[in-house]
Amino acid sequence: MIKVAPSILAGDFSEMGKVVRQLEEAGADWIHIDVMDGQFVPPITFGHQMVEAVRPKTDLPLDVHLMVNDPEKQIEFFVQAGADCISVHVEAANHLHKTIHSIKEAGLKAGIVLNPGTATHTIEPVIADVDFVLQMTVNPGFGGQAFIPSALENIKRIRSMIDERQLPVDIQVDGGVNSKTAIQCIQAGATILVAGSAVLGAQDYGEAIAQIRG
Ligand code: DX5
Ligand code: ZN
Please pick, among 29, 34, 37, 131, the residue that the annotation labels catalytic: 34
- What ligand 1 atom has the least distance to the C-alpha of 9? 9
19 lines ligand 1 (CB under 6 A): no
Model confidence band, residue 71 (pLDDT cutoffs 50, 70, 90): very high
Q: Are 191 and 170 in contact (CB under 8 A)?
A: yes
Write out pLDDT tens, residues 129-152.
Answer: 999 999 999 999 999 999 999 999
* pLDDT at 70 (0 to 100): 97
* pLDDT at 152 (0 to 100): 98
Model confidence band, residue 189 (pLDDT cutoffs 50, 70, 90): very high
Is the dihedral angle over the CA atoms 45, 47, 53, 56 positive or is it negative? positive
Q: Which ligand is nearest the CA of 178, by number?
A: 1
Is the dihedral angle over the CA atoms 105, 44, 55, 194 positive or is it negative? negative
> Does residue 107 come out as left (phi exceeding 0), alpha (psi in the -120 to 50 range) or beta?
left
What values do phi and psi take at 37, rounded to 5? -105, 0
* pLDDT at 51 (0 to 100): 98
What values do phi and psi take at 63, rounded to 5? -105, 105
Chain mean pLDDT for the chain = 98
At 175, the amino acid letter reads: G
What values do phi and psi take at 77, rounded to 5? -60, -45
CA-nearest of 58, 110, 57 to 79 is 110
Pairing relationship of beta strands 62-67 and 85-89 according to DSSP bridges? parallel
Mean pLDDT of 86-111: 97
* pLDDT at 139 (0 to 100): 98
195 lines ligand 1 (CB under 6 A): yes
The enclosing H or E element of 134 equals strand 132-136
| Cβ neighbours for 73, distance < 8 A, ≥ 6 positions apart | none
* pLDDT at 75 (0 to 100): 98
34 catalytically annotated: yes
176 lines ligand 1 (CB under 6 A): yes
* pLDDT at 201 (0 to 100): 98
* pLDDT at 129 (0 to 100): 98
* pLDDT at 143 (0 to 100): 98
> Does residue 65 come out as left (phi exceeding 0), alpha (psi in the -120 to 50 range) or beta?
beta
Reduce the DSSP state of residue 179 to 3 states and report it.
helix
Mean pLDDT of 34-50: 98
Model confidence band, residue 117 (pLDDT cutoffs 50, 70, 90): very high
Mean pLDDT of 176-189: 98
